[in-house]
Amino acid sequence: MLFMGIDVGTQGVRCVAADGEGRIVAARSVPFETLNIAGTPGWLEQSPRVWQDAAEAAVRGCMADLKAQDIAPDAVAAISVDGTSGTVVPLDAAHVPLTNGIMYNDPRAGAEAAEVHAALAGQEARLGYRFGASFSLPRVLWVMRHRPDVYGKTAVFAHQADYIAGLLCGEYAVSDDSNALKTGYDLLNDRWPAEVASKLGIDPGRLPRIVRPGAPIAPVTAAAARKLGLSERTMVVGGSTDGYASALAAGAVRPGSWASIIGTTFVLKGATQKLVLDPGGASYSHRLPSGAWLLGGASNLGGRTLNACAGERGFDELNAAAEGMVPTGARCYPLPGKGERFPFVDPACEPFYAGDITGGRLYPAVMEGVGFGERLAFERMAKLGCPAGDVIFTAGGACRSALWLRIRASILNRQLRVPRQVDAAMGSALLAASSAMGGLERAAEAMIGYERIVDPDPALVGPYDDIYRRFLGDVRRFYGWEV
């Protein structure tokens, strides 16, 4: 029995087929031909046809790989699709896109976001987030306000993942509550809020029916089976956003488990038994299939600053040179530019550097600074009543550096575990497996393996704890913020 996960990202589609022990039996990645076709400067749009072509090529390639291994199509028990959070496309009654997909980072709906905020302030308070221009409900309102010709023909506003799932199973007007969060779905009462119609004037009939991630939607259609090499016995199940799927792949599925993902930016997600509200507005929660919650946020810290200070030198060379320099004694909050969003919100804050960062110390100091920011985020979660345990699951490009893993483990004074497969497509494969394997937690336990385990270095834990205390004073002095 195999489980297929399809990740529709910003730059392309990745598809994996995994078995019940988490082994990848087939995998294909297909880049998009174009990344932005918006005709208006500053807007960001992609063609749903480009999504479709890449997704079909990736699935077809995986199924060809399975066939080459003498694995029958009906070995794939279920498929789940994730997509970029907040990306939406209006479809007509024949499921044909009426516009390009409006991407998650398109800024056009700022005025509509303020209108949605005013209309749904009560729901924001209950669920602990605030509608912004990156949310999909303001984009739906934008289409209604600025493209009434399109709105009048719209049968459903589909999220990116919904559209690809619809191509597979024919059900385009079904979504999951992970994608639907930014479209305003009330996760506490399992319904579209009445204010969507009464205050915003949006017809709720144009919004999708909602299922939980991993819940059955419909089997693969005969047409999709013929075209892609799939089986009509394969079930398409509820998907998620790409960030949600990445957190699952890293291991944040059971209450108390936390996934720290450091790539270009830093994302922290943790499973909590109850809904947790962040008064500072820096974090918010999705709902897990079990009814537990997935709390977290995204920082502007990450590998981007490390890449910038590396220059033309290779990372292996830089890591080797930095080995004898840690701890540097420096403190920094190495933002790549102005503004932070997690663990505190401050659009005006800028990076700070304190202490000696000369003589090659900048590179390891940035590693340490991201580690200090990571610890700050964990301490903020603890302040909200969600302390992390002794083990942290971690993923992202930062895990390629053994030195950085040792620095972070020592700053956090916790063991870091690096999963064997950490991409969003694997998270979707876990959702696809969740029904057959008795729930997401059991699927994760069986399918997630670890390629590296890093314990804190006893020689570094004490010095880093002292430096971190001074770092907290720097944060208070520079930003006026305390945990």
Residue 285's nearest CA partner among 274, 298, 294 is 294
Give SS3 for 61. helix
Displacement of CA 412 from its chain's centroid (Å): 23
pLDDT digits (tens, 9 = 90+) for 405-416: 999 999 999 999
Confidence at residue 338, expressed as pLDDT on a 0 to 100 scale = 92
Delineate the domains of the chain, giving CATH numbers in brackets. Answer: 2-243 (3.30.420.40), 250-479 (3.30.420.40)
What pLDDT is recorded for position 180? 98
CA separation, residue 342 to residues 41, 114, 118, 223, 392 (Å): 29, 21, 23, 45, 18
State how far the Cα of 315 lies from the Cα of 364, in Å rounded to an integer.
11
Residue 483 has pLDDT above 90, yes or no: no
pLDDT digits (tens, 9 = 90+) for 93-126: 999 999 999 999 899 999 999 999 999 999 999 9
CA distance 417 to 420: 9
* pLDDT of 188 over the 90 cut: yes
Q: Which pLDDT tens digit goes with each residue over 426-469?
A: 999 999 999 999 999 999 999 999 999 999 999 999 999 999 99
Q: What percent of the chain has pLDDT over 90?
A: 91
117: Cβ contacts below 8 Å, ≥ 6 apart: 124, 130, 131
Q: Which range among 192-201, 218-227, 343-352 shows the weakest confidence by mean pLDDT?
A: 343-352
d(CA 292, CA 271): 7
Does residue 266 sit in helix, strand or coil? strand
Q: Which of 17, 36, 44, 42 is CA-nearest to residue 28?
A: 17
**Would you say 363 and 407 are in contact if contact means Cβ atoms under 8 Å apart?**
no
C-beta of residue 104 within 8 angstroms of C-beta of residue 161: no
Report CA-CA distances (Å) from 435 to 26, 79, 226, 308. 21, 11, 25, 44
3-state secondary structure of 218: strand
**pLDDT attached to residue 422:** 79
Q: Look up tokens 């969740």; give the residue.
A: 434
Tokens found for residue 476: 């208070």
284 within 8 A of 269, measured Cβ to Cβ: no
CB–CB of 241/191 below 8 Å? Answer: no
Residue 474 has pLDDT above 90, yes or no: yes
Q: How far is CA 87 from CA 46, 155, 341, 423, 466, in A?
A: 10, 17, 20, 19, 44
What values do phi and psi take at 276, rounded to 5?
-115, 130
Contact between 242 and 83 (Cβ < 8 Å): yes
CA torsion sign for 392, 176, 124, 126 is: negative
Least confident span in 70-74, 87-91, 297-301, 368-372: 297-301
Q: Find out whether 352 and 478 touch, Cβ atoms under 8 Å.
A: yes
Residue 212 backbone dihedrals phi, psi, to 5 degrees = -80, 155
pLDDT of residue 135: 95
What is the rounded CA–CA span in Å between residue 278 and residue 284? 7
Given this model, what pLDDT does residue 23 score?
A: 96
Mean per-residue pLDDT of the chain: 95
Confidence at residue 311, expressed as pLDDT on a 0 to 100 scale: 79
- Band (pLDDT 50/70/90 cuts) for residue 310 is confident
Asked if 201 contacts 181 with a C-beta cutoff of 8 angstroms, the reply is no
Kindly report, residue by residue over 275-309, the tens digit of the pLDDT.
Answer: 999 998 899 999 999 999 999 999 999 988 988 88
- 192's enclosing H/E stretch is none
pLDDT at 184: 97
**Is the peptide bond preceding residue 48 cis, with omega within 30 degrees of 0?**
no
* pLDDT higher than threshold 90 for residue 313: no
Pairing status of strand 76-83 against strand 2-8 = parallel
Number of Cβ within a 10 Å radius of residue 275? 16
- Tell me how far apart the 2 most distant CA atoms of the chain are, in Å: 66
Number of residues in the chain: 483
Tokens of 134: 């990156």
| pLDDT over threshold 90, residue 396 | no
In angstroms, rounded to a whole number, what is the distance separating the alpha carbons of residues 319 and 331? 19
The tokens describing 292, both together, are 């537990």
Angle, helices 424-434 vs 440-447, to 10°: value is: 130
Q: In what order do the strands lie in the sheet with 391-395?
A: 284-287, 293-299, 266-272, 258-262, 391-395, 415-419, 450-454
* Backbone conformation region of residue 214, classed left if phi is above 0, alpha if psi is from -120 to 50, else beta: left
pLDDT (tens digit per residue) in 16-61: 999 999 999 999 999 999 999 999 999 999 999 999 999 999 999 9
CB 323 within 8 A of CB 365: no
Check if the beta carbon of residue 369 is closer than 8 Å to that of residue 469: no
The conformation of residue 26, written as its DSSP 8-state character, comes to E
Q: Is the pLDDT of residue 91 over 90?
A: yes
pLDDT at 148 > cutoff 90: yes
Pick from 155, 19, 38, 33: which is nearest to 98 by CA?
155
What is the band of 367 on the pLDDT scale with cuts at 50, 70, 90? very high
Asked whether residue 226 carries a pLDDT value surpassing 90, the answer given is: yes
- In the 8-state DSSP scheme, what is residue 397? G
